[in-house]
Structure 1
C-alpha cells in the first residue's frame, strides 16, 4: 500500500509546480515587452507669439440723441394744442398754451403793490433830498432828523426791490403757460386734450404733456464685457445690422466710453453716434453690432484643439525631455480655430497639437 502512495504524491507536487513555472515565464515576457516599448509618435508644434485680430458680436440698442418729457409748471387748463404725435418741431416753437385765470389776478396784484412801493419810495426820497439841501445851512436841520430821513428812504427802497422781485416771479409763472420746444425734434407722445387739467399736483401730472425726441442723430449703446474693454477706443468704427433691413449694413464710430464697469453686468457702456437724416432708423430698435478687436500686442496663439477644458481646469500638454507635462493656462480671445493662452510658457516650447484626455503626465512622446 505504501509503495503506491509515494509516486502519487510526487505526481501531485509536479502538477502544482508546472502552472507556477508557466506564470513566471509570462510575467518575464511582459516585462521584456514594456522595457522595449517605444515612445508614441504624437503631432506637436513650436509655440510662437502672434497678433490675433478678432471681432465681437453683441446686441445694441438705438436711442434718441436727445429726449425730454414736457410737464406743466403751473396748475392750469389746456387752452390750445398746436402739435400732435409725429409733428416735427423747431427749437422755441410754441407747442401748447395753458390757461390759469388766478395767475392773471396774481400778476395784477403784484403790479399794484409794485406801483404803491414806487410811490412811497419817491416820497421818502424827495423828503430826504429836501432835508439834505436845507441842512447845508448851519443850524436849520438837526442831524437826527436827517438820519431818520435816510433810514426811511433806504427802507422804502428795499420794499420797492421786494415788490419788483414778486412781480417778476408772478410774470415768470405766467410764462410757463406757454409750452415751447427746447430743441429740434419730433413729438413722439401726446397725453392731454383740450380742456384737460394739468399741473404739478393735478391728475394731469402723472404723464408728460409731450415727449420730444431728436431723431436726426441717434445713439447706439453697447455693453462691452470686461475682458474686451481694453481693445476699444474713441474713434474706432463699428458696423451693425437691423432686423427691419437685414440686407443693409450701417456704420458708426465710437464717441463715448463710460470709463467704468456696470456693477451688475460687469461691462462698460460704449456709445456710438449714428446719423439718421432720412429717418430710416427709429429709437428703440435692437441692433446686431460687429466690433473689430485689433491686436494691441503679440500673445501666444495656439490651435483651439490643443487646449483641454475639464473640471480640473484649462491646460495644455508640453513636451519636456520627450515626456508629457501638464501646464495650466487661461484663455483669451478666440477665433473659429485659434485662441490666445496665458500661462507659464515660453517661445519655442513644444506643445501637443491635439491631445486626448487619456494623456497622462510622464507619458513618453516622440514628436
Structure 2
C-alpha cells in the first residue's frame, strides 16, 4: 500500500514538472500566428530634404586648350651693312618712333667727299656735252664726240647714284612706326656688317600663334572666338578671333599652327610671352546638369532622378556624360529635358526614398543661404 502511494505521488510530481515547457511551446506557437506590432521598416519614412535641379538644354561650346606664343605684329633687328663709326644716335631706350625716322648715323665723311668729287666731275662733263651740242647744232662738230660726252654724263650720274646709296647705308631708318628696344651701342663705337644696332617692334597688335590637333581642321575657320591668359596678368582675360590658319600640318605632331591677332593698345603684352589659349568651337545645343548631381558607381555615372508623386520619390538613373565645364556636365543619354534630379543630398537618399525639395536650380553661391533657412525651419518645427 505504501509502495503504490509513493509511485502515484512520483507520477503526479513528474507531470507537474513537465507542464510548464509544454505550455511555453504552445504559447510560442500562438504568438507566431497572432498579429503583433508592425516592424519599424514598415512604418512610413519621413521625406528627405534635398536640393534639386532641372535638366535643361543650353548652348554648349567645346573648348580646345592650347599653349601659344606672342609675336609682334611687325618686328625687325636693324644692323649695319658696312664698316664704320657711330657718329650720332636719334633714340633712347623704349622710344616710340615714326616710320622713316633715322635712328643711327655712321660717319660718312669719306662718302660725302666722294659725292662732291663725283658732282664736280658731272658738272665738267655736262659742260663738255653742252659745247658739243652747240657745235653739232651749227654743223661744226663731230657726231661721235657729242655721243661720247653724253655717255660720260650718264656715267657720272650713275656714280653719284651709287655714292648716294652708300650714304643712305650710313643712316639707319625705321622701316615702320613702332617701339625701339634697349640701346646697346654708343657714339664712337665701331660697327661691322651684321652688327645688331637696335630692335624695332610694332606692339599695338600682337600675333598669337598656337597649335591645335589636325583632327579639328573641319571645324576651324577664321572668326572663331578664343580667350587667352598669361601668368604675367593672371586676373585678365584677353579675347580675340582666329585670323589665319597655317597651310602645313606638322608630320610629327600632326598639328596645325593657328594665328590670332590680340589688340594691345596699352602695350602690356610683349613678344615671347607664353599664353594659355582656350579656343571655342562652334556652339551647339546640349542637355546639361550641375556636376554635383553625379554619383559615381564603379565605372558608371548615375544621378538620383526625382519621380513625381505625393510625396515625390527618387530612383537611381545611369547616365552617359560628355564634355564638362566649370560646374556643369553634358548629358548624352539617360535623361530628358525637364526632368528633375537631386544635386545636394545625394548621399542621404536611397532607392525609392520620398524626398522634400527645399530648393531648385540654386547656384553654388546660394547653397549656404538655403541650408541656413532649412536649419531655421527645422528648429522652428521642433520648438512648436
How high is the TM-score relative to the length of structure 2? 0.56
Paired with 2:90 and 2:282, the residues of 1 have a C-alpha distance of 52
- Residue in 2 that maps onto 1:274: 262
Q: Superposed, which structure 2 residues align to 1:4-153 within 5 Å?
A: 53-131=61-139, 149-153=142-146
- Residue in 2 that maps onto 1:196: 189
1:245 is displaced (CA, Å) by: 1.6
1:243 is displaced (CA, Å) by: 0.7
8 Å CA contact 1:61, 1:286 repeated in 2: yes
8 Å CA contact 2:69, 2:272 repeated in 1: yes
8 Å CA contact 2:90, 2:102 repeated in 1: yes
1:233 is displaced (CA, Å) by: 0.7
Paired with 1:155 and 1:107, the residues of 2 have a C-alpha distance of 23
Q: Partner of 2:117: helix, strand, or coil?
A: helix
8 Å CA contact 1:231, 1:295 repeated in 2: no
- Residue in 2 that maps onto 1:361: none
Paired with 1:255 and 1:221, the residues of 2 have a C-alpha distance of 10
Paired with 2:124 and 2:93, the residues of 1 have a C-alpha distance of 48
How high is the TM-score relative to the length of structure 1? 0.59
Q: Partner of 1:284: helix, strand, or coil?
A: coil
Q: 1:191 to 1:266 in 2, by over 3 A?
A: farther
Paired with 2:176 and 2:162, the residues of 1 have a C-alpha distance of 25
Q: 1:210 and 2:198 equivalent? A: yes
1:159 to 125, 139, 152: 152
Q: 1:237 and 2:245 equivalent? A: no
Q: Superposed, which structure 2 residues align to 1:181-330 within 5 Å?
A: 181-200=174-193, 205-206=194-195, 208-294=196-282
8 Å CA contact 2:70, 2:207 repeated in 1: yes
Q: For structure 2, which runs of at least 5 residues remain unmatched after alignment?
A: 1-58, 285-295, 300-321, 333-384
8 Å CA contact 2:224, 2:282 repeated in 1: no
Paired with 1:68 and 1:245, the residues of 2 have a C-alpha distance of 26
1:241 is displaced (CA, Å) by: 0.9
1:180 is displaced (CA, Å) by: 2.0
Paired with 1:263 and 1:120, the residues of 2 have a C-alpha distance of 69
1:73 is displaced (CA, Å) by: 3.1
1:87 is displaced (CA, Å) by: 1.5
Q: For structure 1, which runs of at least 5 residues remain unmatched after alignment?
A: 1-50, 133-145, 297-304, 309-333, 341-367
8 Å CA contact 1:56, 1:290 repeated in 2: yes
Paired with 1:252 and 1:295, the residues of 2 have a C-alpha distance of 17
Paired with 2:232 and 2:129, the residues of 1 have a C-alpha distance of 71
Paired with 1:110 and 1:225, the residues of 2 have a C-alpha distance of 62
Paired with 2:124 and 2:256, the residues of 1 have a C-alpha distance of 62
